[in-house]
């Protein structure tokens, strides 16, 4: 019982510390982990070892991967590459299908670019096209926001899914492939929500003429930094399937090297540096774009490391044995990580924190939940991603970015963003559960 009490107290401290006391999530997770260790009676040496090993182990796996993913997104955003991709997507799909165009553009952009930043990039274009096509601005905003949310929580190299995959030991190529499939299927209900329900909300458009002096690189160059790393990682995953017997191929050493996530994303950074009009200190210096990416990535990396500490503390305390005994007769499976992530998301607001914290808590429990097989680990990452969208409301920074840029009041924000993320999350876990029953 002491393990359960300690875990509940730790979770309560995490929520209150972040939401009420406004403490940085890194310190909240670190203190919660140490307090949990003492409450459960762990020896001092074991607590210190859990802190060092938990942080070092997870940083060795995914620290560089998170930073490289952020760096690609930062260069794409600041070089104008993200806007080039968005504009071309809209041209391909057409203004008559503006809801679909916004949703799919958001879906693509949020793989390398943070959802908040991508929304800021897209909002003026969304506003102008909504006015031109004479469709509901609220409906197109819902489509854009939910498209951004889908890949933000499910498709690496977005930091949250990368961190969760690393903590749970899921194969990154598998997470990318199934994340793309699950997220796009889950957007079907969101599309109908955007066009049939959110579109009924009356939201006036106040369009300002903006001077866009941003350099516009070529489309194919803009896509390279996103597409090539994903292709490399997925190709390595295919070559690694034992059933295909491709390890003896002459290409395997090359694919194995370049398809390793850290190398694939490093290639992505190199390709993204082809985008700026001029490669100078504005791009590569400590105060330039790459310097900005360090500042953006640092908090995420630290939070992920603290999550690793929390997970190691849980593992070393022996709670896994207790959970195994408690859950052995239950068939809760994927719904446990989904519900835990949903609780953390709803109470503290950040999808990334919800992803990392849930993965850290669930990691020692995977065998007890029947989720320790390779494919089950992939689905667990996606289940946590689905839960980390439920629901976005006033404690979520993205909620305020959306409402302030569009002119929505809080009620309209709840009708569009809060309800929309609930629909996405519930649809996603339903899709994941069906896949687990068919292929698990």
The pLDDT tens digits of the residues spanning 17-45 come to 887 898 888 999 999 999 999 999 999 99
Report which of 362, 274, 286, 368 is spatially closest to residue 329, judged by C-alpha positions.
Answer: 368
pTM: 0.84
CA 30 to each of CA 23, 94, 109, 302, 391: distance values in angstroms, whole numbers, following the listed order: 11, 49, 32, 10, 25
Q: What is the pLDDT of residue 152?
A: 94
Report which of 310, 332, 322 is spatially closest to residue 2, judged by C-alpha positions.
Answer: 322
Q: What is the pLDDT of residue 278?
A: 86
Q: What is the pLDDT of residue 210?
A: 46
The pLDDT tens digits of the residues spanning 376-400 come to 999 999 999 999 999 898 778 899 8
Q: Which residue blocks in 241-348 are alpha helix, DSSP H? A: 252-258, 261-272, 281-284, 289-317, 319-327, 335-348
Q: What is the pLDDT of residue 211?
A: 47
Q: 355: which 2 tokens?
A: 């992803």
Report which of 408, 383, 411, 413 is spatially closest to residue 396, judged by C-alpha positions.
Answer: 413
Q: In which residue ranges of the chain is pLDDT below 50?
A: 209-212, 328
Cα separation, 440 vs 438, in Å, equals 6
Cβ 33 vs Cβ 51: under 8 Å: yes
Cβ 222 vs Cβ 82: under 8 Å: yes
Cβ 75 vs Cβ 294: under 8 Å: no
Q: What is the pLDDT of residue 52?
A: 94
Report which of 54, 132, 58 is spatially closest to residue 96, judged by C-alpha positions.
Answer: 132
Q: What does residue 112 show for φ and ψ, rounded to 5 degrees?
A: -95, -25
Q: What is the pLDDT of residue 268?
A: 92
Cα separation, 197 vs 195, in Å, equals 6
């Amino acid at each position: 019982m002491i393990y359960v009490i300690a875990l509940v107290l730790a979770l309560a401290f995490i929520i209150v510390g972040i939401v009420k006391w406004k403490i940085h999530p890194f310190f909240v997770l670190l203190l919660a982990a140490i307090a949990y260790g003492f409450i459960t009676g762990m020896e001092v040496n074991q607590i210190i070892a859990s802190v060092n090993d938990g942080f070092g182990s997870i940083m060795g796996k995914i620290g560089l991967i998170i930073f490289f993913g952020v760096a690609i997104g930062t260069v794409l955003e600041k070089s104008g590459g993200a806007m080039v991709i968005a504009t071309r997507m809209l041209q391909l799909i057409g203004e008559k299908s503006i809801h679909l165009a916004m949703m799919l553009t958001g879906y693509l952009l949020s793989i390398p670019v943070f959802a908040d930043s991508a929304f800021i990039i897209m909002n003026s274009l969304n506003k102008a096209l909504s006015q031109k096509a004479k469709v509901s601005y609220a409906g197109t905003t819902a489509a854009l926001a939910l498209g951004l949310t889908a890949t933000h929580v499910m498709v690496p190299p977005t930091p949250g899914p990368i961190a969760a995959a690393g903590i749970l030991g899921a194969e990154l190529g598998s997470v990318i492939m199934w994340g793309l499939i699950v997220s796009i299927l889950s957007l079907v209900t969101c599309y109908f929500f955007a066009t049939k329900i959110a579109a009924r909300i009356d939201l006036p458009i106040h369009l300002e003429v903006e001077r866009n002096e941003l350099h516009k690189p070529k489309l194919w160059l803009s896509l390279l930094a996103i597409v090539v790393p994903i292709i490399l990682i997925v190709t390595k995953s295919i070559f690694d399937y034992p059933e295909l017997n491709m390890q003896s191929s002459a290409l395997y050493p090359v694919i194995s090297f370049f398809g390793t996530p850290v190398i694939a994303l490093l290639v992505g950074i190199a390709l993204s540096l082809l985008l700026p009009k001029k490669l100078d200190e504005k791009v590569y210096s400590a105060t330039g774009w790459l310097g900005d990416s360090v500042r953006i990535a640092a908090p995420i990396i630290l939070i992920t490391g603290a999550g690793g500490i929390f997970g190691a503390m849980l593992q070393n305390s022996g709670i896994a044995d207790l959970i195994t005994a408690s859950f052995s007769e239950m068939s809760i499976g994927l719904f446990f990580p989904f519900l835990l992530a949903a609780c953390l998301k709803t109470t503290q607001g950040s999808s990334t924190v919800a992803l990392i914290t849930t993965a850290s808590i669930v990691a020692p429990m995977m065998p007890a939940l029947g989720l320790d097989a390779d494919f089950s680990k992939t689905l667990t990452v996606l289940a946590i991603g689905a839960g980390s969208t439920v629901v976005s409301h006033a404690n979520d920074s993205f909620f305020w970015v959306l409402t302030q840029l569009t002119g929505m009041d809080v009620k309209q924000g709840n009708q569009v963003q809060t309800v929309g993320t609930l629909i996405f999350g519930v649809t996603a876990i339903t899709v994941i559960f069906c896949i687990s029953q068919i292929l698990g």
